[in-house]
Amino acid sequence: MFTPKYPRPDTAPMPASTSSATYSPSAYNPTAYAPAPVPAAPASNRPTVQLTAGSVLTLAAGGGVLVLVVGAVLVSMLLAVAITAVSVAVCAVVIRSILKSDRR
């Protein structure tokens, strides 16, 4: 059902431009199969960005500051999670000791 149905090679129809009498496999003309030329891209109306030494230095410094700020935020969030985990663990130990002493 899902397999394609191909005609047998000997019964396949010939293209209209060629006939069996004029077809010759050795007559290859590469210019007949040459791709059409691609049209040139239109000129852009956007202004070009000129990078000077000062602007490159400013971009590099801004990127460095951004990396430092994002790193500080991530480290502080990790520190907050660690402090919360330690405090929850201390509370669990205290509550466990209270309940254990209450049973005696």
Give the per-residue SS3 of the chain.
CCCCCCCCHHHCCCCCCCCCCCCCCCCCCHHHHCCCCCCCCCCCCCCCCCCCHHHHHHHHHHHHHHHHHHHHHHHHHHHHHHHHHHHHHHHHHHHHHHHHHHHC
Task: Tell me the average pLDDT across 36-53.
Answer: 82
Task: Tell me the average pLDDT across 38-42.
Answer: 82
22 pLDDT above the threshold of 60? no
63 pLDDT above the threshold of 80? yes
Task: Tell me the average pLDDT across 32-53.
Answer: 80
52 pLDDT above the threshold of 70? yes
